[in-house]
Amino acid sequence: MKFPVAGLALAGLLGAAAGAIAAPASAPAAKPAAPAPAKAQAENSALSPLLAMLEIGNPLPALPDCADKRTPDGRDVTGFCVELKGDGLMRQVGVPRAQRPSFMDGPFVLAFVDRNALVGLVVPTAGANSQQAAADSVSALYGKPFRQEQVDMPDKAGKSVKTLHAGWMHKPLTVELYAMPEDPNTGTIEMLLPQARVLMADKDAEVDKQLNPASAPAAKGGKAAAAKPAPKPAAKPEKPGSW
């Protein structure tokens, strides 16, 4: 139903900033085209201040290190910033309180970067506790979702919670909102260009390879040992617009 890597990345966002993946790359890249939403609609969206700075399809802005933008208690940031660690493909970007929507969970979003182009954002949310406000904000940008459904999920106490799973298309951008099965009171908004999907698939393949390495062959003349791989999470269909 969703990319496994996105869930792993979101879990990192909900943890400490020290685990961030980040480091600006210097190589230039062609600017992907992502149609901008109508101005009148955008003004009604709580996501607009965030997307005004982090424009998907444009180069990632040059941002200061979050080490220089933390509040004294270390739990928030005072301005847009980036965690300068990692491989450069996924970067934690700090969003100041005035520019982040009320339904956003924590001060960081995850940016997917193809060389220097911002090709996707993952915005953590409070899941079922904020899903309608999040959905309304996305709809203000991109109109009615092409698909929307209610999904029952058990919370940590075992109580059934009704969560919203919805998707929007604003070609070439696709947007998906959902709650996390392991904790429906956390969720995400994925805003992705096709290049981001490629990066996510590559990362997923790397994680799968690490979790399920090929078994070493047995001694010569013996039968090759075959380790049974662990069940792989169901992948979301690659074709945008159909999960």
List, in order, residues 6 or more apart from 40 with CB less than 8 Å away.
Answer: none
Rounded Cα–Cα distance for residues 40 and 22 (Å): 34
Please report the pLDDT score of residue 200 as a whole number. Answer: 80
Between 51 and 6, residue with greater pLDDT: 51
Cis bond upstream, residue 233 (ω within 30): no
User: pLDDT band at 243, cuts 50/70/90?
Assistant: low
Segment (H or E) for 173: strand 173-180
Please report the pLDDT score of residue 222 as a whole number. Answer: 45
pLDDT in tens, 68-106: 999 999 999 999 999 987 667 889 999 999 999 999 999
- Are 210 and 169 within 8 A, CB to CB? no
Q: How far is CA 118 from the centre of its chain?
A: 12
Q: Is the dihedral of CA 129, 131, 132, 138 positive or negative?
A: positive
With a cut of 90, say whether residue 26 has pLDDT above it: no
Question: What's the predicted TM-score (pTM) here?
Answer: 0.72
Q: Alpha helix locations (H) across 2-155?
A: 4-14, 39-42, 48-53, 131-142
With a cut of 90, say whether residue 150 has pLDDT above it: yes
